[in-house]
Each structure stands twice: as C-alpha cells, then as structure tokens.
Structure 1
C-alpha cells in the first residue's frame, strides 16, 4: 500500500483528477447499480467543502483587510481602481455571455421546490437580511453573504489591533488554506463519485453539459484577455496596448497556467515588472495585492456557473438582477482563495442570492473541479497576467500625465 501511495503521489493533481474522472465514467458504464459504495466518495468530498468554505471566507477576507497598511506613497489608488474595474467588467462579461449562450448542467436530485425571486426588491431584501444575520448563525447555515459582510467589518476593526493579533488572524487564515489543500487532495476520489452518480442517473449526455459550460467559461476569459483588458489599458495609456498585453500573457500567463496559483506566480510577476522598468515601491505592493483581489477569471467562473445553476433549476432572472450578480461576483472574487480551485468555493455565496440551496451549490462546486483541469489553469493565467498588466498601465498613465514618453514595444517580450 505504501508503494502504491508513493506511485500515486508522483502524479500531479491534474493527472489524478483526470484518472478519477475516467474511473468514474468506467464504473458508471459497467456497474451502474453499485450505488452508495461509490457515490459516498462524492458525498464526503462535497460535505468537506461545504464545512470548510464558510471559515475560509471569514478568515481570508478578515486577514487581508486587517493587514492593509496606510501611508505608502505609491500609485496604488490607480492600481486598485483598475483591479476592481477589471474584475467587475469580467463579471459583466460572464453574465452577458450566460444570457447570450445559456447552458444547463446535470445535477443529482435537483430540488423541485426552488422558488424564483419575486423581483429585484425581493432579492435586495433577502440580501440585506442576510448581511445583518447573526455571524455565528451565518457560519452554521453557510450564509456566505452574511459571512462576507461580517468578515469585512471585523477586518476593518482589526486594522488598529496589535501586530500580534493580526499575525494570529493571518495564521488562522493560512491554517484554513492548508486544510483546504488537504481536502482538495481527495478531489480525485470525490470527482469519481460525483461523475459516477451523474452518469449512472442521467447517462453520458450529462458530460456534454460540462463541455458546454467549459466552452462558455474559456470563451469569456479569452474575450476579457484579448478585448476587455486591452480596451481598459488603451483608455488609460492612449497607446496600442497589445504589445504589453501579449508580453504579460507570454511571460506571466503561461507559467501561471501550469502552476495554477497566483501566489506561486508572484516571483515571476515581480521579475517581469522589473523588466518592464516599473517602480519597485509600487509593484512590490501591487503584485502581491493583485494575487488576492485581482480576480477577473474568478468573477467569470462565479458568474457563469451560478447562472448555469439558475438555468438548470428553471429560475427566471431578469438582466437587472443579473447585473446585481455581477457586483456580488466581483466582490466575492476579491476574496477567492489562493489555492487551486479557490474561486469555486465562493459559488455558494453568489448562488444564495437566488435562493439556491447550499447542497445544490456544492454539487456545482464539484462539477467545477471536474472541468477545473482546464478552467482553473486558464482562470489563473488570466488573473496573474492581469496583475502585471494593470500595474504597468497605472504607472504608464502617470508617466503620460507627467509628459514622459511611454515605451511598450515588443522588445519587453
């Protein structure tokens, strides 16, 4: 057994997930009546994610806000504005794409009594009531909107706390992130159980819906990378942005695609920022910050998978309510975990806006891990490359205003 585990650990998580996916399909086709002995793995995996996700949101956001420092003379205001604008724009792209190309996904035992919101007023009322929910109750009942609101307030209150207290909060956040990495190590088994249950109940056609969702996700991310981000950059620097865009995609996006971690790609982005001749006082802060809050890919993932769930449950949503989802997706994306698949754990937050039960939302998280072999890599590549892009754009904008010549030719690539 020890040798088997040693051989298994030689495979990357992506390879392990692919193996789990294949085994799940084989079991579903050969022993469709096996039932619980196989589906239990998917149930346990979803249960573990459901249990740890509320704590993740609470401590991750709280730690990030409490650690913020004042008084640094940088162009961080412009960088943060670009981060938030880019993330919101990506969320809008995900929503618009979901309206133009609506897709559904196969869920095991979807509820039949899920009621659609009565309108924007009802959605806003539900949102406000969830915001002021008891923080302990919010944790117990997985009220992610309430958890997000209280974590922001606690984070702001802790900004004046002693450094030892902030260190303790950051340590707890790191510990929860570590636990999540342990849970994700069991993703191959969990995905095997989820795929088995989906195919044994719905047939192989259920896999087609995953392909449609993946195509919608990747198409939206490519559109943001090659159209939306360059447009934002052009508005700021008034020059052809594509040499800079392609440089960031080539030197940052490719490595991020394979590491699947914005945090792990920080050294690469720092080196690229130096190569671009940027101000170290700015990029030494903006690059690590971007790995936390600049999450265009995560915003797309949250928006698209949430609306796919809504379409599957036949919940009618008007465009104004979907625009509210864009805001919520952008905000929640800023708190996405730095581990692989971290944005998927925030889907229940967005789904709760439409009354989607946590159990159903966690099934969608499981589906996200199935398609995450490609989706999460592309998402991370978009997120990480945009960190450098917007850091450079903010500085080039200041240089343009100061009358300096901006050089963003292909020589940087």
Structure 2
C-alpha cells in the first residue's frame, strides 16, 4: 500500500494526459450507467476542476500578457496581425457555413411560453457600451469577476509600461510568470479526474432523452461545426503553411477540444491551450498574447450557434430570408460572437440581437434562447471545443506562415 500511492502519483504526473482524459471519460460514462446516484456525487470532482481552471486563468492571462509585452523584442507584431486576421476570417466563414446549412436543412423548433430570468443585451449599442465599460473596469474587480476584456486591457497597458523598466524589474515579472505557469501545470494534471466527474454527472443527470425532439436542430449545429473544424480550418491552415494541415488539426482537437468539450468554457481552457502551444514548440511571446485574445474574440462556434438558431426561429415563424439578409446576418453573427462571454451559454444571450434583424419579438427570441439551453449539453460543449481548439490551430498556422516567409527571405 505504501508503494502503491507514490506509484499512482508518479503515473498521474508522467503519464499521457490525453490517454488519462479518455480513461476518465470512459469511466465516467460507465459509472453513470452502473450507479447514477454515485455518479451525481462525483460531479463535485468536475466542479472542483472547472473552478480551479477558472480561478487560475484570470491571473495567468494578466501576468502572462503583461510579461510577454514587457519582455518582447518587437518581432511578433506581424504574427499577432496574422492571427487576428485568421480569427476574423474564421469567425465570418463559420457564420457563412451556418447560413448555408440552415438553407439546405431548414429547421423548425417548438416555441412555447418559456419564462426564465435571462437578461439579454437590448441592442448593438448596449453591447458596445458594455464592451467600453469592461475595458476600463477596475483591474482587481476584472480579475475577480473574470472580465477578460478588462484583464487584457490592463495587462497590455501594464506590459507596455514595463517595457521601459529596468532589466531587474523585467526579470521579476518573468519569474512571477514562471511561478504562475507552474501552478497552471499542476491544475492541468487534474484534468482526467475533472473530466471523470463532469462526464459522470452530466450523463447521470440528463442522458439523451431530453434532446430527442431537437435532433434535427442539433444535427445542423453540430454538422456545421464539424465542417468548420474538419474542412474550413484545415483549408485556412493549408493556405498559410502549404503543408498537410490535418496532423495539427487533429492534435488540437484531441488535446484542446476534448478538455474544452467538458469544461464548456473558453476562458477556463486557456491554461490547457497554453500548455499545448508549449508542447508544439511555438513562440511564447506570440501564443501568450494570441491565446487569451482568442478566448475572447475567436468565436466561430458561437457564430454558428447564433446564426442557426436565428434562422431556425425565422423559418418557424414563416419569415422569408433573402440572400442579402442572410449575408448581413453572417456579419452581425460574427460581431455578436466576438462579444460572447467565455462562459457556458455565453453565445445564447446574443441571439435576440440577431433575431432583431427579422423583427422577431424579444419574447419569442428569449424562447429560442431557452431552446438553446435545453440542447446546451451538446451544443455548448461542441461550440467551446471548436472555439478553443481553433485558437491553437490559428496560432500554430500563423507561426508556420511567419517561418515560411523568413525562409524565403
């Protein structure tokens, strides 16, 4: 017994994290079917893991971005611009794919008088107003409330200010960054246990019965996301690297997408993506900026959700959607997606904004939001997996694009 415990600790620390996560997934599903009540109790393990990720992520983003800018030598500007361009193009293409899928497979949804306490933005003006005030939020409050817009604003400002500090000060900032990263690595090693608890609780609590009436809607949503992940993203990577994109795409889906699927939070998955970028050998000055920014604005999955549910509502109400309006919806969905919070269900609250394009009543729009929450077990999980894994895909693609340009020069 004395030898067994150190052996298990060593196995957890040194074993393959992906294999351990898959083992946790299988064991969680098995426990849910064998002993549902016990599986529900194990949900505390999943909640603990997600809480740990959410606790460390704001501090990690603040310290990492500030340290990266403070110690930057000025050679990543082109890389960041390339990544931001990919983020914008990827999100817009995701919305366009969702429009095509909705036209090819028109879907109706059951809209009932669902009452809930969800408060959605009243218009684009309110979204922009919230964005502005989030930027100037108190830094302590921003970190405490995981306001990543405010965290990024303060980290970038502090980073640029620290570029003019002494080398000793920069060294202290770097040491602080390494210390936070060590804590993050410890948290990430808890992923198999966390996934086990999350899967066990979800399967034992919901099963699949509650989603049978929304199978067609889920198929359109998940099918669109699959097209983005397996066709559109690889195409963009190929255009950047001129190499086979699938090894990179599969690696990101396997190591980032699987974890994000169960945490259902792009923000909570930031430490996982940082660790994956490190394993891929990417430039830390680049990914320490692109990953936190991606968790905030790279929301292809959210664009798909907003577009599909909005067009489903229009189809249900018998509203004819022309090509021009559909294209406008793609742009609006892309903008709304960038404003979606990095928490579970964040994209659903922006559906009423898109519904406003078709004059759909806000009460009806909120019923669509409620439908989104009903199918959220799969929809939000798949959306987050796509969003988060794409952050690493585009960061790696931009890195290889820069290397290819340097080689030609």
Q: TM-score range by the shorter chain?
A: 0.5 to 0.7
Is the 8 Å Cα contact of residues 237 and 397 (structure 1) preserved in structure 2? yes
Deviation, structure 1 residue 267:
1.3
Gaps of 5+ in 1: 1-5, 17-63, 111-139, 178-191, 193-203, 406-413
Pairs within 5 Å for 1:168-317 = 170=142, 174=146, 209-317=213-321
2:338 to 334, 353, 361: 334
TM-superposed CA distance for 1:349, in Å, is 1.3
Q: Deviations over 1:365-404 (max 9, x none)?
A: 1111111111111111111110000001111100000117
Structure 1 residues 7-406: aligned runs within 5 Å: 10=41, 12=43, 73=74, 74=76, 75-108=79-112, 142-152=121-131, 154=132, 166-167=138-139, 170=142, 174=146, 209-403=213-407
1:205-257 deviations in Å (ceiling 9; x for gaps): x9665111001000000010000000011111111111111111111111111
SS of 2:266 mapped into structure 1: coil
Following superposition, the deviation at residue 288 of structure 1 comes to: 1.0
**1:332, 1:258 → 2: CA distance?**
24
Task: Check the 8 A contact 1:142/1:358 in 2, yes or no.
Answer: no
- With over 3 angstroms needed to count, the CA separation of the structure-2 counterparts of 1:169 and 1:351, relative to structure 1, is farther
Structure 1 residue 352 displacement after superposition: 1.4
Structure 1 CA distance for aligned equivalents of residues 290 and 381 of structure 2:
22
TM-fit CA distance, 1:170? 2.8
Count of residue correspondences: 289
Deviation at 1:327, TM superposition (A): 0.5
- Residue 319 of structure 2 aligns to a residue in which SS? coil
Aligned equivalents of 1:401, 1:349: Cα separation in 2: 41
In 2, the alpha carbon distance for the partners of 1:338 and 1:100 equals 30
Please state whether the residue corresponding to 1:315 is helix, strand or coil.
Answer: coil
- Extract unaligned runs of 5+ from structure 2: 1-36, 48-61, 150-204
Please report how far the alpha carbon of residue 144 of structure 1 lies from its aligned counterpart in structure 2 after TM superposition.
2.2
Q: Secondary structure at the match of 1:342?
A: coil
Secondary structure at 1:402's aligned position in 2? helix
* Aligned residue in 2 for 1:26: none
Partners of 1:104 and 1:209 within 8 A in 2: no
TM-score between both structures, scaled by the size of structure 1: 0.63
Over the aligned positions, Cα root-mean-square deviation in angstroms equals 3.5
Length-normalised TM-score, structure 2: 0.63
The alpha-carbon distance between structure 1 residues 207 and 386, as it changes in their structure 2 partners (threshold 3 A), is: closer
For the residues of structure 2 that align with 1:330 and 1:264, how far apart are their CA atoms? Answer: 22
